[in-house]
Copies of this chain bind each other. A is one copy, B any other.
Amino acid sequence: MRVLVVEDERRMAAALQRGLSAEGFAVDLAHDGEDGLHLARQGDYDVVVLDIMLPRLSGYNVCKQLRAEENWVPILMLSAKDGEYDMADGLDLGADDYLTKPFSYVVLVARLRALLRRDSGRRPAVLAAGDLSLDPARRKVLRGERAVELTPREFALLEYLLRRRDEVVSKAEILEHVWDTFDTDPNVVEVYVGYLRRKIDGPFGRNALQTVRGAGYRLAGDGG
């Protein structure tokens, strides 16, 4: 598996190269945005790790540029927590996952593997489960023919659940991926699951979004 790491901080870049090589990845490095963009364009990578703060051309723009060129290589974004951009921006850009510094090395590897596992082919235009569909680019959700209005947080939650549909996802995982924190009261997840249910399952019948007591939630692949 070939990985491109775009990171200007030399020590960090070197550490990542050593670490990922030890995990069996073939690692190339780029130290600024333009080099990164160039290399990524060669198209030989299975996944790109992209810092946002870069000299010459920001990760933000590298990502935007690649997507504009219809290059759907999986991208994992890195950024400082207090930075100019946040997770919502990162995902807006067409990044596939997002990590804030300082990040855990283990988590990085886990996310990389998850990205590689996900789809080695083209990036699906829309996520769907039964007659429920979500378009990440347009930020639109449909239940059958009917459009569903979601707040940003609700949207992010549904997107994450759809990406892992049929799997049971724990509240901790949801907090980590949708809220980008560990130490938040899990109750907030319960509340938002409630909101989502009212909007996509309606007052009766459907239950696309199932509770698995003691384990988490599961979005049914057939849409309920």
Q: Which residues of A contact B (CB under 8 A)?
A: 11-12, 14-15, 18-19, 86-88, 91-92, 96-98, 100, 102, 104-107, 109-111, 113-115, 117-118, 121, 137-139, 151-153, 155, 166-168, 172, 176, 182-183, 212-215, 218
Q: Which B-chain residue is minimally distant from A98 (CB atoms)? A: B105
A139 touches B182 (CB 8 A): no
Distance of A6 from chain B, by nearest CB (Å): 18
Question: Per a CB cutoff under 8 Å, which of B96, B110, B139 touches A218?
Answer: B139
Q: Which B-chain residue is minimally distant from A214 (CB atoms)? A: B152
Complex CA gap A87/B18 in Å reads 12
The 7 closest A-B pairs by CB, nearest first: A152-B214, A15-B88, A106-B183, A110-B182, A139-B168, A97-B106, A19-B91
Complex CA gap A139/B97 in Å reads 24
Complex CA gap A62/B38 in Å reads 42
A92 touches B18 (CB 8 A): yes
Distance of A200 from chain B, by nearest CB (Å): 18
Complex CA gap A213/B117 in Å reads 20
Which residues of chain B are within 8 angstroms of A215 by Cβ–Cβ distance? 139, 152, 155
Which residues of chain B are within 8 angstroms of A104 by Cβ–Cβ distance? 97-98, 111, 114, 183
Question: Per a CB cutoff under 8 Å, which of B87, B88, B172, B214 touches A113?
Answer: B172
B167 touches A110 (CB 8 A): no
Complex CA gap A142/B49 in Å reads 39
A182 touches B107 (CB 8 A): yes
Given A91-B19, A215-B152: A137 touches B168 (CB 8 Å cut-off)? yes
Distance of A76 from chain B, by nearest CB (Å): 9
Which residues of chain B are within 8 angstroms of A168 by Cβ–Cβ distance? 137-139
Which residues of chain B are within 8 angstroms of A12 by Cβ–Cβ distance? 87-88
Given A137-B167, A215-B152, A218-B139: A15 touches B91 (CB 8 Å cut-off)? yes
